[in-house]
């Protein structure tokens, strides 16, 4: 049937595209389709900060720290593969990244957090360093005098995220994935061991279905027996004009792209609409200028807001349905950092029909239903 596939991925953002690409590469005989809202989608993929980031992730779930370290390690091969197949360079740079502190209290808080992270049982330890002002200045000469120090992790980096988005779509189509924009999933029914997905353009059938629709997974999950408690969280970004290179390392809230623009992002808001607010943008800019005075002389060329996909504890959900075998969900707020993992690890597991407990059990949404007594 023309509208029948072995696997249908719902969601064409970075998570969905990475998984669809990985599915097609795992077994070229598998027919894969991606159902997407199209350009009207409130994409986190178009609003993210483009970091491949390790440091400080995993407080409360040490396995996530290991998952992130693994993902960062897979990125060089992933970037090289995308370039070989599409001709598009996603400009991966992993020179190590900084989290700057503007007071002794901030630096102490940062050091305590990283120590607490690495003291967790089952924690996969990695190198990091707490630096004073002079040590940071030796590596980033243009920091301002208010920067008292920083944490530094050599595993951190960044990419050109819009080029990554394009490369993934180009690569997945080149691998045989059928991309269906303007096909938002309205409902999913499970009958006779297969799935029927209703869209405005007609019904799509699948042997397996992967929910990668970001915040939309909360609505779709129960249709296939999956609990996906996610919520939108707004972040705002400021972008300056192009300038000569002065940031040799990404900072968690400031990065200079390969094209010379400077991106600023330092906000977390519990909000459901991607609206830009002048007070937040002003606060982001003010803090950035204190960190790098040069930024104060640059023109702002655009700002935007986007919605993160957040779970109750901030960690990803990877799950498979017990009541509707063949239904899977993948949701996270680190679609860039984990893109290689989704293509090289998650997709092959879905292709095999099972998420191995040793990698995925800790990420199941069942963790939200463990009683306090347990």
In the three-class reduction of DSSP (H, G, I as helix; E, B as strand; rest coil), residue 133 is classed as: helix
The residue to which tokens 């924009």 are assigned: 181
Question: Can you read off the two tokens belonging to residue 71?
Answer: 């993902």
The set of residues, in sequence order, having a beta carbon less than 8 Å from that of 358 and lying 6+ positions away, is: none
**Taking a C-beta distance cutoff of 8 angstroms, is the pair 172, 212 a contact?**
no
CA distances (Å), origin 16, targets 12, 194, 217, 286: 5, 20, 12, 36
Give the model's pLDDT for residue 373: 39
Euclidean distance between CA atoms 312 and 274, whole angstroms = 20
**What pLDDT does residue 298 have?**
97
In contact, 167 and 17? CB cutoff 8 Å:
no
Tell me, what's the pLDDT at 45?
60
Q: What is residue 372's predicted lDDT score, i.e. its pLDDT?
A: 44
> Residue 280's pLDDT is what?
85
The predicted structure's pLDDT at residue 213: 95
- Residue 198 C-alpha from the chain's centroid: 27
- From the list 26, 34, 78, the residue with the least C-alpha distance to 351 is 26
**Helices and strands (H, E) in the chain, number of each type:** 10, 17
**Residue 135 DSSP one-character state:** H
| Strand 32-35 with 178-180, pairing | parallel
- What is residue 306's predicted lDDT score, i.e. its pLDDT? 79
Per-residue confidence (pLDDT) for residue 44, from 0 to 100: 63
Count of CB atoms within 10 A of residue 301's CB?
11
What is the block-wise mean pLDDT of the chain (374 residues), using blocks of 10 residues? 90 96 97 88 70 95 97 98 98 98 98 97 95 98 98 98 94 98 96 96 97 95 96 88 97 96 82 71 92 97 85 95 98 94 98 96 92 44
Q: Which residues in 75-103 are b (16+ Cβ under 10 Å) and which e? A: beebbebbbebbebebbbbbebbbbbbee
**So what's the pLDDT on residue 281?**
85
H/E segment holding residue 311: strand 300-311
For residue 98, give both structure tokens: 């900084």
The residue behind tokens 């017990």 is: 322
Q: Count the helix, strand and coil residues of the chain and give each as a percent rounded to the nearest 5.
A: 35, 25, 40
Contacts of 62 (CB under 8 A, 6+ apart): 117, 120, 121, 122, 123, 124
Residue 24 in tokens = 């097609």
pTM, full prediction: 0.95
Distance from C-alpha of 321 to C-alpha of 263, rounded to nearest angstrom? 39
Instruction: Tell me the C-alpha distance between 107 and 295, whole Å.
Output: 22
């Amino acid at each position: 049937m023309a509208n029948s596939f072995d696997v249908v991925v719902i969601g064409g953002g970075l998570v969905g595209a990475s998984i669809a690409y990985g599915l097609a590469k795992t077994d070229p005989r598998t027919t894969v389709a991606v159902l997407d809202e199209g350009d009207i989608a409130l994409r986190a993929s178009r609003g993210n900060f483009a970091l491949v980031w390790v440091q400080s992730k995993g407080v409360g779930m040490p396995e996530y720290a290991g998952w992130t370290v693994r993902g960062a390690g897979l990125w060089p091969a992933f970037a090289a593969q995308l370039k070989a197949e599409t001709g598009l360079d996603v400009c991966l740079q992993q020179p190590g990244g900084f989290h700057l502190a503007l007071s002794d209290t901030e630096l102490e808080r940062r050091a305590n957090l990283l120590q607490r992270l690495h003291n967790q049982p089952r924690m996969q330890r990695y190198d990091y360093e707490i630096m004073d002002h002079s040590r940071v200045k030796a590596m980033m000469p243009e920091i301002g005098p208010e920067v008292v120090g920083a944490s530094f992790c050599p595993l951190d980096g960044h990419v050109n995220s819009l080029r990554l988005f394009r490369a993934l779509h180009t690569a997945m189509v080149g691998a045989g994935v059928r991309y269906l924009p303007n096909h938002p999933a309205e409902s999913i029914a499970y009958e006779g061991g297969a799935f029927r997905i209703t869209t405005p353009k007609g019904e799509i059938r699948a042997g397996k279905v992967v929910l990668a629709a970001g915040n939309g997974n909360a609505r779709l999950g129960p249709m296939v027996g999956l609990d996906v408690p996610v919520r939108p969280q707004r972040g705002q970004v400021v972008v300056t004009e192009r300038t000569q290179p002065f940031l040799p390392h990404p900072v968690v809230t400031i990065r200079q792209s390969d094209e010379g623009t400077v991106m600023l992002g330092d906000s977390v808001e519990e909000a459901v609409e991607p609206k830009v607010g002048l007070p937040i943008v002003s606060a982001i800019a003010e803090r950035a200028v204190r960190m790098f005075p040069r930024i104060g002389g640059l023109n702002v060329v655009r700002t935007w807001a986007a919605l993160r996909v957040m779970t109750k504890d901030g960690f990803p959900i990877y799950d498979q349905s017990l009541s509707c075998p063949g239904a899977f969900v993948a949701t996270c707020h680190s679609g860039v950092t984990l893109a290689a993992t989704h293509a090289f690890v998650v997709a092959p597991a879905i292709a095999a029909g099972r998420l191995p407990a040793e990698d995925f059990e800790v990420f199941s949404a069942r963790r939200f239903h463990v009683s306090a007594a347990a």
